[in-house]
Structure 1
Amino acid sequence: MRVKGTKTGAIALSALMGSVVLSGCGGDGGSGAKGGDASPGTSASRSTGAREQGTVEVRAAYDKTAEAESARMTIDMKLSAKGRTITSDAEGVIDLAEGDSVMTVTAQDKSIEQRVVEQVLYQKVPGQKAPGGKSWIKIDLKKVAARQGVSNQQIGDPAQTAAYAKAIIDKNVEKAGTEKIDGVDTTHYKVSVDVSRIPGGDQLAEQLGPTLPMQVWLDDEGRLRRQQIDMTVKAPASASAEPDGSGSPEQLKMTTVMQYSDFGTEVDAEAPPAGQVADMTDQALQGTSTQG
């Protein structure tokens, strides 16, 4: 059960790191609002221009956030599958340029010390030993993502954000209003990412569907202050049949809300000493193969 829980945590974190990249969709800047003569009957043009400007802002959001180099982050996550719901929350700091992080995760009444260093997940449960009497377990998120058919771009590779910018076009962005978050004025956008336009999108679409709905809240400097992603993950066709013979594909629904503050805070993310770490990547990969 410990291995299964760890695998689920790794996959969930992969999705979380991916959503940081996806929501920002930084890159080439896209098309800006078009100018034109203000005249009767141009409301549709003004609406189109506003939508285009929103697209520019959303596409540039990750780059502008990353310019802060680091931030304090909180995460609230809810996972639902097979009639069960698990909630968890986390708080800590993240290197916005590299994706490394140091966080404390609370899940199922357990507090977990967690680090991500160079896309390797490390976890330690106080008072609980890992296999071999070690204090920490580690899972290589790149290998887990590859087994799932997901590029490592989905787990926090900011250098690839330009590729995701192509997945958002004007019709995908809708301004939803303004809101204060922790006393900061923000603009709220609803975003629909075209999964087919993401690298490896054809494979991802089998699990995520054609679109990925997200919401982002940007401050006056264009930085992310809050992001919400609602995801339904389906088992791939090769693993869609349930063991009980029902033939119904397994689905996991996940809602994740992340908030950013204290930009520029110090991040000290270091891997634990190798002698204190048990590598659980193979067990996670076996679980991924079994469950699809």
Structure 2
Amino acid sequence: MRHKGTKADAIVVAAVMGSVVLSGCGEGSGSKTEGDGTPPSASGSADAQEQGTTEVRAAYDKTAEAESARMTIRMNLAAEGQTITSEGKGVLGLAEGDSVMTVTAQDETIEQRVVDQVLYQKVPGQKTPGGKPWIKIDLEKVAAQQGLGNQQIGDPAQTAAYAKAIADKDVTKVGTEKVGGVNTTHYKVSVDVSKLPGGDQMSKQLGPTLPMQVWLDDEGRLRRQQIDMTVKAPASAQPEGSTSPQQLKMNTVMEFSDFGTEVDAEAPPAGQVTDMTDKALQGSRQQS
């Protein structure tokens, strides 16, 4: 199998970050109330912002209640004047995070599955270093080493942590738009990374805030989510002889439709899989 470090890392990062954000924001508790001395116009604006915050916080729980959806994802990864675009489409289990997708990157089509927090990938016509068609990476182990913790990978029980990381001032209503023919409300959101589980480590990689945009349908479910971030590149993606950390700028847009669709995610037969987790962990350790 030809090794294209940047492309492989990009796809893995997309899978991991997609799972991280999908575990997203749950319903928050409590709301700010304005004092009697607040001018009516300011109070109205604050009330609207408060309502938007509540809707965004609740969106991930409401989306997860659908149990599954069809998803498309488009990611642009830019580093040192080069841009790599990957596109994926498939189905996603919103409770467990299992998925079956086809990903296209650098003119190659990759079959991808996530089953029980293990990422499997196969490039048709190519063999892994072990001579087998599939590779696998244990996402829980990678996340744990990076200080993210298992709870951040597709665990809906942790949604409250994201709700606490979003304050009223961090949500701005942009307007209304159609996404896939569906009416949606568009919000800009800023997540305080330090308030997330593993936030200290995440802050080193992502900075203090995670800027997102979300589009919610009339039932309060996610229809589109956009994330823009700058992350430190994995060592495997660093140019040879580089003495300074390479910065990767990543734009990811996910869209959801056909809620309740069936997800048939099964791990490939063990005899057809080469475990690349240790290599991924080694590359991760070399970052710091």
Report the TM-score, using the length of structure 1 for normalisation: 0.90
Partner of 2:8: 6
Which moved further from structure 2: 54-63 or 135-144? 135-144
Q: Do residues 288 (structure 1) and 284 (structure 2) align?
A: yes
Contact 1:129 1:135 in 2 (8 A): yes
Alpha-carbon distance in structure 1 between the residues aligned to 2:131 and 2:63: 40
Amino acid at match of 2:254: M
CA contact (8 A) 1:230 1:256 kept: yes
Return 5+ residue gaps in structure 1 as ranges.
none
Deviations 1:20-56 (A, max 9, x none): 223xx01344427x5899x994010010011011000
Say if 2:250 is the partner of 1:254: yes
Structure 1 counterpart of 2:259, from 260, 263, 271 = 263
Q: How does 1:113-132 map to 2 (within 5 A)?
A: 113-132=111-130
Hey, what's the Cα distance between the residues in 1 that align with 2:28 and 2:38? Answer: 33
Structure 2 equivalent of residue 26 of structure 1: 26
Structure 1 CA distance, aligned partners of 2:182 and 2:195? 33
Change in CA separation of 1:122 and 1:207 when aligned onto 2, cut-off 3 Å: same
1:118-158 C-alpha deviation (Å, 9 max, x unpaired)? 11000111111223321211000111122222223333222
Between the two proteins, the alignment pairs up a number of residues equal to 284
Candidates 163, 166, 173, aligned match of 2:164: 166
**Quick check: 1:204 aligned with 2:202?**
yes
Cα offset, 1:7, TM superposition: 4.1
Deviation at 1:234, TM superposition (A): 2.8
Aligned partners of 1:172 and 1:70: how far apart in 2? 28
CA contact (8 A) 1:242 1:249 kept: no
- Contact map agreement 2:231 2:249 (CA 8 A) in 1: yes
What CA deviation, in whole Å up to 9, does each residue of 1:70-104 have, x standing for no partner? 00000000111222211000000000011000000
Unaligned runs of 5+ in 2: none
Paired with 1:36 and 1:167, the residues of 2 have a C-alpha distance of 24
Percent identity among equivalent residues? 71
Q: CA, structure 1 residues 57+168, in 2 after alignment: closer, same or farther (shift >3 Å)?
A: same
- Match runs of 1:99-248 below 5 Å: 99-234=97-232, 244=241, 246=243, 248=244
Q: Distance in 2 between matches of 1:151 and 1:216?
A: 25
Superposition CA RMSD, Å = 2.4
Partner of residue 85, structure 2: 87
